[in-house]
Amino acid sequence: MNKGKVIVTGGAGYIGSHTVVELVESGYTPIIIDDFSNSEPEVIRRLEEITGQKITFYNAKVQEESLLPDLIQTAGAIKAIIHFAAYKAVGESVEKPLEYYENNIDSTIAVLRQIQKNQDVKLVFSSSCTVYGQPDNLPVTEDTTRKSAASPYGNTKQICEDIIKDAVSASASMKALSLRYFNPIGAHESAKIGELPIGIPANLVPFVAQTAAGIRDFVTVFGNDYSTPDGTCIRDYIHVVDLAKAHVKAIQYLDDSNEESIYDVFNIGVGKGHSVLEVLQGFEKVNGVSLNYRIGDRRPGDVEMIYADCNKANEVMGWRPRFSLKDALKSAWDWQQHLMEKEHG
């Protein structure tokens, strides 16, 4: 049964591509918009292999003036827009704040303008736990006070959440959710899609995998003098497939809601924190490899420790994570090995 079409901005990216698979498996027809600034067109072919169906995609930026209105008008029966398209590297955002503000905020406004005109279309927004800054108390709930963001990237997520909330408040029938992701890692079980950073990875696990593969000489642990049990930063690591499934649950939740207008936020994590050293050691153990790592200076914009309370997503949306940290770290290495096999024929 076709449950309708879902526009996925940034759908060739890491989280977007996994969500496309889950949408297809749940009976939706995804339409991808991606400018391939942080992904590759090859991902579309791989998605077609996994799903066994043709994937419609547009090589474009979301904010291109006529793209969304033309697409919504011609495609028909658009159920929702899942808005992933954004620049996302914390460190880079500190170096290039204007690019981050322009891209991340303008694209969100472009999406909202179209939903404002087509209010049957629901919005699921890709937010982040960075909106909490460095919280006073853990775990963080959706009611935890948002502090000043530790990076321009985090600030763009705070601003976009506020813009969406204000747009819904001004509307009689707009429905939107913001999903606040914690740290997605891992890859699809097929090892045909996974995190594919362009250039040097900004995130820990792909850098670890590339180091294990001999592509990088060593992993730098950014600081070991934090007030944590082993001195390294603590994060809530969630398997990307679990995260992808949360987007399907979000659309279903909005569909089932009897409210005329709705805006809400949900934490999407596993509810437990792991340190950087725990991740390194866990990767070594589950995959039978050894890693070369060094302790470096703290990185600007990094939060010391954060992990989620996910009870709201569990109880209200009926979403629960299924995969463990070990599962995620094993799938990340499987994906890296697949990339190496492809590269070497």
229 φ/ψ angles, rounded to the nearest 5 degrees? -55, -40
Q: Which of 321, 259, 267 is nearest to 122 (CA)?
A: 259
Calculate the alpha carbon distances from 92 to 120, 156, 277, 299 in Å: 36, 13, 23, 11
Furthest CA-CA distance within the chain:
57
Task: Tell me, yes or no, whether 77 lies in a domain.
Answer: yes
The pLDDT of residue 344: 67
The pLDDT of residue 300: 79
> What's the mean per-residue pLDDT of the chain?
95
Distance CA 312, CA 332 (A): 28
What amino acid is encoded at 234 in this protein? I
Calculate the alpha carbon distances from 266 to 70, 128, 191, 317 in Å: 31, 10, 28, 9
pTM of the model: 0.96
* pLDDT per residue as tens digits for the range 104-120: 999 999 999 999 999 89
Task: Tell me, yes or no, whether 328 lies in a domain.
Answer: no
- How many domains, in total, are found in the chain? 1
Task: Tell me, yes or no, whether 343 lies in a domain.
Answer: no
Hey, what are 68's tokens?
A: 């969304």
* Inter-residue contact 309 to 186 (CB < 8 Å): no
Q: Is residue 342's pLDDT more than 80?
A: no
Distance CA 209, CA 195 (A): 10
The pLDDT of residue 345: 58
CATH number at residue 138: 3.40.50.720
The pLDDT of residue 200: 86
Distance CA 121, CA 71 (A): 13
Task: Tell me, yes or no, whether 26 lies in a domain.
Answer: yes
Task: Tell me, yes or no, whether 145 lies in a domain.
Answer: yes
CB count within 10 Å of CB 344 equals 6
* pLDDT per residue as tens digits for the range 101-158: 999 999 999 999 999 999 899 999 999 998 998 899 999 999 999 998 888 999 999 9
Strands (E), 20-103: 29-34, 56-59, 78-83
Catalytic positions: 153
Q: Average of pLDDT values for 225-246?
A: 97
Task: Tell me, yes or no, whether 292 lies in a domain.
Answer: no
Q: Check residue 313 and report its DSSP letter.
A: I
Q: Say which residues have a Cβ less than 8 Å from residue 84's Cβ, sequence separation at least 6.
A: 8, 9, 10, 11, 13, 15, 16, 19, 126
Residue 75 pLDDT level (bands cut at 50, 70, 90): confident
CB count within 10 Å of CB 30 equals 24
CB count within 10 Å of CB 318 equals 11
The pLDDT of residue 196: 87
**Sign of the four-CA dihedral 320, 8, 267, 308:** positive
Residue 133 gets the label, from left (phi > 0), alpha (psi -120 to 50) or beta, of left
Task: Tell me, yes or no, whether 19 lies in a domain.
Answer: yes
Task: Tell me, yes or no, whether 144 lies in a domain.
Answer: yes
Residue 305 pLDDT level (bands cut at 50, 70, 90): very high
Write out the residue range of the structural domain in which residue 246 sits. 5-185+239-269
